Amino acid sequence: MTATPSSPSSSAASAASSASSASPSASAASSSAPSAALPSASAASSSASSSAPLSPAFAPIERPRRLRTSAAMRSLVREQALRPADLVLPMFVREGAGENRPISSMPGVVQHTMDSLVRAATEAVERGVGGLMLFGVPEHKDALGSGASDPEGVLNQALARLRSELGDSTVIMADLCLDEFTDHGHCGVLDEHGRVDNDYTLTRYREMALAQAEAGAHLLGPSGMMDGQIAAVRDALDAEGHLDVALYAYTAKYASAFYGPFREAVGSSLQGDRRTYQQDPANGREALRELELDVAEGADLVMVKPGLPYLDVLREVAEASPVPVGAYQVSGEYAMVEAAAASGWVDRDRVILESLLAFRRAGASTVLTYYASEVAGWFAGGLPDHLREFL
């Protein structure tokens, strides 16, 4: 009788039956062996994190962090640094003041008396600042800003006093604008329609420039944004033999809300706004046109104002300019840092230095800042460890 071959299903069933008939001890050994040989996923993860390095799935080829591994390494490769000589200190002097008057919106900044101006200026120069920019606050104003060109006016008297006291040990600078001296607060003379008369204002700027040069200013800062102001002032200075008096053109000065505290600092009488002569905050290309004109007219240095909100403009001007470029960290920028620091929201000292470094990184050779003397003092006395990265 021929045997019938078993089917695959019957073979599988037979194997399963054999396995089930195995002794209980064998089954237990079989089920417990894998548990003893392989740890659980959570146990493996814990063990790896505590005793064995992880095996990365990917290793980068480029490692920029190598150049950030220590303070010494970061210092070695640092692209920009600050120095006191890069900084210019704006200062306010008030006519007839018997004592300093604090400026409420700019904590730490004052309207100086003539004597306190000399003391503060001398201290700043001893600390190593690069220059001093003076602004006058007169007792009396008129439509033409007559005090601006008066040799006995507060600004010209302050220039003469500082030049006598400090000589050529620093660069004494004068703001060349009528706004502090006019009863309407504009940077020029108004016509019969109440508009700023550009060309008549240039005549006043020429007179003002001569008065400042004769008082002893090394450098004048025409800041009124009148068309042709650099050419007009340069011509007037050269005609009277002031060939070495330099011009620091306010090339890109924007009609900005960041000037608010400055208006208090100079006792501004402004009526209306300055949008018909200062630049529109929306425009960048326009700054390059102003740069081209100022350089052609004889500017020795050029400036962008305000500072941090216009770093893009500063960079473009710096890349295009054949002369040194500066930036003005204006009153509103200063006030915001002070307010935030007073509330404990920022590290004041680091924010100050980081903001100044931003101007240098964007291309500024000089920075006008109300922090100039204070920062120069930090450098002179040695920066604490947490600020040494700014050396």
Find the mean pLDDT for residues 134-156.
94
CATH number for the domain that contains residue 138? 3.20.20.70
Non-local (6+) Cβ contacts of 286 within 8 A are 252, 279, 280
Q: Is the pLDDT of residue 180 over 70?
A: yes
**Residue 36: inside a domain:** no
* Cα distances (Å, whole numbers) of residue 217 to 134, 212, 378: 10, 6, 28
In a domain, 344, yes or no: yes
> What average pLDDT does the segment 88-104 reach?
93
Active-site pick, 141, 186, 234, 305? 305
CA distance 355 to 370: 12
Q: How many domains does the chain have?
A: 1
Q: Is 253 a catalytic residue?
A: yes
**386: its two tokens:** 């947490």
In this predicted structure, what is the pLDDT of residue 52? 63
Would 21 be classed as within a structural domain?
no
> What pLDDT digit, counting tens, does each position of 98-120 carry?
999 999 999 999 999 999 999 99
Tell me: the pLDDT tens digits for 155-178?
Answer: 999 999 999 999 999 999 999 999
Q: Is the pLDDT of residue 14 over 50?
A: no
Top-confidence residue, 32 or 79: 79
Residue 43 lies in a domain: no
Report the pLDDT value the prediction gives residue 187, as an integer from 0 to 100: 83
Per the annotation, the verdict on 141 as an active-site residue is no
In the predicted model, what is the mean pLDDT of residues 242-246? Answer: 98
Average pLDDT, the chain: 86
Q: What is the pTM of this model?
A: 0.83
Dig out the tokens for 241 from the structure.
């033999």
27 falls within a domain: no
Most confident of 81-85, 143-147, 170-174, 193-197: 170-174
Task: For residue 205, give Cα distances in angstroms to 57, 224, 244, 299, 383.
Answer: 70, 9, 18, 15, 42
Catalytic site residue from 186, 253, 274, 360: 253
- Average the pLDDT over each of 187-201, 295-309, 359-373 and give the range with the smallest value: 187-201
Paired tokens of 258: 């960041």
d(CA 208, CA 202): 10
What pLDDT shows up at residue 391?
Answer: 65
Check pLDDT > 90 for residue 36: no
* Cα-to-chain-centroid distance, residue 34: 66
Q: Is the pLDDT of residue 154 over 80?
A: yes
What is the per-residue pLDDT across 65-76, written as a single tens digit (0 to 9) for each?
999 998 888 888
Q: Which has the closest alpha carbon to 116: 165, 178, 179?
A: 165
Residue 170 lies in a domain: yes
Q: What pLDDT is recorded for position 30? A: 43
Domain coverage including residue 116? 79-390
Task: Decide if 180 is inside a domain.
Answer: yes
Residue 70 forms part of a structural domain = no
Label residue 50 exposed, middle or buried (CB < 10 Å: 0-12, 13-18, 19+).
exposed
Task: Give the model's confidence band at 57: pLDDT under 50 very low, under 70 low, under 90 confident, else very high.
Answer: confident
